[in-house]
């Protein structure tokens, strides 16, 4: 198993999952023997029902290398995590996020305007880069109060890209001590410095004016711990860096897969274009359009099934437990993976095929809640789920009311496992005006 893991880790993991048929199995990776949790019932047990017994261990699989960037905070566990969660959660309720839609729609429209120029000249664009620009413009405006300029934000996204890859050796060899130099360490340090060079001065400068803002950084400065203290600069920095990554990397990556799939499935593309044209007309996209775009949402759900960027959700058992007759000992590592479960033949028909019709309301009702869990579940469930759907619908609807596209190279890129799941190759395309493309 180890050689195929190194050659094409994503495919190898999916193959391992399929071989288990949903049974809870123990993987044999030398001295390291994590349990692979694939059955939706077992995933529910670990992430939600017995969440008290399965902690997100900051010194364990996956998180230890990643934590060198984020430190303690919202992506950790225990008291500091729970304090961060309490502070940040109110910013992402349905009501608060809906109040951001108009500002987000406007920022997205302005950022999409900049595609007119390459489209008029038939120039090829790297859609990953363009989406980075669009997402940064929207998110910096509505969540970071325009404290971070778009070019600075793009520098941070680039540094995150470097980090996502630089941590791979340490994810693959999880128990190498941090004192042992590994490939990737140097680019990691350089990229982390870039993140801090951009974000730390902004975090510091925001302290004095924190009372005035409702952006992420001001909210963190305004927060008080249970004993009435302001957070330390380090903790505000940690949660700012974590929230920056969570709000950018995710949406950008998921949407990049859309274009090759639409190219392969003109029938899906037509339905999507039709829905958007009927609801939005010539635009601009407005808040009231969003809950009238059910097919757009189905397309997003299918992208999240095939490309759940949070591809690994590890936990550590606090005390002994038994799952479906399998004894689990205290200290064991449990690995749940949306990427594996969501592509297993035991739970999905034709699992590798892109087919948004899997997400009609009837078919969703017929499935286990944890057959599709791109946002995790239980107490650590993603804070940004609602935001993701609204933002992604706005971006798709805005782009597709204005443009049609042609891929430079057809074919769906392979999967690359990094700290997040990404396409192996860039997606390049040319855009043409949608006017007259009936
Ligand atoms: C495609 C979009 C996204 C996906 C697939 C995704 C996925 C996930 C997953 C799987 C987790 C659970 C981690 C665990 O249980 O250990 C998570 C947690 C989290 N996500 Fe997302 N995420 C996305 C977008 C966002 C956005 C836009 C935000 C912005 C607010 C966000 C903020 C967070 C935060 C703060 C956590 C940690 C929650 C906690 O542990 O209390 N995510 N995300």
pLDDT digits (tens, 9 = 90+) for 160-190: 999 989 988 888 777 788 888 999 999 999 9
Q: How many domains does the chain have?
A: 1
Is residue 82 domain-resident? yes
Q: Whose CA is nearest to atom 16 of ligand 1?
A: 313
Q: Whose CA is nearest to atom 6 of ligand 1?
A: 375
Is residue 368 domain-resident? yes
Could you give the percent of the chain with pLDDT greater than 90?
A: 79
Is residue 343 domain-resident? yes
Of 8-12, 252-256, 308-312, 431-435, the range with the lowest mean pLDDT is 8-12
pLDDT score for 424: 92
What atom in ligand 1 is closest to the CA of residue 377? 15
pLDDT score for 383: 96
**What does the block give as tokens for 410?**
């057809």
First to last CA, the chain: 50
At 1, the pLDDT band (50, 70, 90 cuts) reads low
Mean pLDDT within 108-119: 97
Of 37-51, 110-124, 202-216, 393-407, the range with the lowest mean pLDDT is 202-216
436 C-alpha to center of ligand 1: Å?
Answer: 39
Is residue 162 domain-resident? yes
Cα 359 to Cα 271: distance, rounded to the nearest angstrom: 14
User: Is there a contact between 160 and 191 (Cβ–Cβ < 8 Å)?
Assistant: yes
120 C-alpha to center of ligand 1: Å?
Answer: 37
pLDDT score for 71: 87
Mean pLDDT within 12-19: 94
Give per-residue pLDDT as tens, 199-244.
999 999 999 988 888 899 999 999 888 888 889 999 999 999 999 9
Is residue 175 domain-resident? yes
Q: What is the 3-state secondary structure (H, E, C) of 330-358?
A: CCCEEEECHHHHCCCCCCCCCCCCCCHHH
Is residue 438 domain-resident? no
Could you give the percent of the chain with pLDDT greater than 70?
A: 98
At 378, the pLDDT band (50, 70, 90 cuts) reads very high
- Expressed as residue numbers, the domain containing 47 is 2-433
Is residue 3's pLDDT more than 70?
Answer: no
Is residue 395 domain-resident? yes
Looking at the DSSP bridge assignments, the partners of residue 273 are none
Q: Whose CA is nearest to atom 2 of ligand 1?
A: 250
pLDDT score for 68: 87
Single out the residue of 258, 229, 223 nearest to residue 243, CA to CA: 223
Is residue 11 domain-resident? yes
pLDDT score for 6: 62
CATH assignment of the domain containing 37: 1.10.630.10
């Amino acid at each position: 198993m180890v050689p195929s893991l190194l050659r094409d880790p994503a495919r190898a993991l999916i193959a391992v999952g399929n071989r288990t048929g949903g049974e809870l199995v123990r993987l044999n990776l030398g001295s390291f023997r994590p349990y692979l949790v694939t059955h939706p019932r077992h995933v529910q047990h670990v992430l939600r029902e017995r969440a008290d017994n399965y902690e997100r261990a900051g010194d364990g699989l996956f998180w230890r290398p990643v934590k060198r960037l984020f430190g303690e905070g919202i992506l950790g566990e225990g008291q500091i995590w729970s304090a961060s969660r309490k502070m940040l959660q109110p910013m992402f309720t349905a009501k608060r996020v809906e109040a951001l839609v108009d500002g987000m729609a406007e920022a997205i429209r302005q950022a999409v305007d900049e595609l007119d120029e390459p489209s008029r000249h038939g120039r090829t664009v790297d859609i990953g880069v363009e989406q980075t620009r669009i997402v940064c413009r929207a998110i910096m405006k509505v969540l970071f109060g325009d404290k971070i300029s778009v070019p600075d934000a793009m520098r941070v996204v680039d540094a995150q890209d470097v980090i996502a890859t630089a941590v791979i050796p340490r994810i693959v060899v999880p128990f190498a001590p941090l004192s042992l130099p590994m490939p990737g360490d140097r680019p990691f340090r350089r990229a982390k410095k870039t993140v801090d060079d951009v974000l730390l001065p902004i975090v510091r400068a925001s302290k004095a004016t924190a009372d005035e803002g409702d952006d992420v950084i001001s909210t963190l400065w305004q927060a008080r711990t249970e004993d009435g203290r302001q957070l330390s600069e380090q903790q505000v920095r940690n949660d700012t860096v974590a929230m920056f990554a969570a709000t950018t990397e995710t949406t950008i990556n998921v949407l990049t897969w859309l274009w090759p799939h639409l190219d392969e499935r003109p029938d899906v593309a037509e339905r999507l274009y039709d829905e958007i044209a009927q609801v939005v007309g010539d635009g601009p996209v407005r808040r009231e359009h969003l809950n009238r775009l059910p097919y757009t949402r189905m397309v997003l759900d299918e992208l999240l099934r095939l490309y759940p960027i949070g591809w690994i959700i590890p936990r550590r058992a606090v005390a002994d437990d038994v799952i479906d007759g399998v004894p689990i000992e205290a200290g064991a590592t449990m690995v749940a993976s949306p990427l594996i479960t969501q592509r297993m033949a035991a739970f999905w028909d034709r699992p590798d095929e892109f087919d948004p019709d899997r997400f009609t309301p009837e078919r969703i009702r017929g499935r286990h809640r944890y057959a599709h869990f791109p946002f995790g579940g239980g107490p650590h469930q993603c804070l940004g789920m609602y935001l993701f759907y609204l933002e992604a619908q706005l971006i798709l609807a805005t782009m597709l009311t204005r443009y049609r596209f042609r891929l430079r190279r057809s074919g769906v890129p392979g999967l690359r496992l990094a700290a997040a799941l990404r396409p192996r190759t860039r997606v390049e395309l040319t855009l043409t005006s949608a006017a007259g493309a009936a």
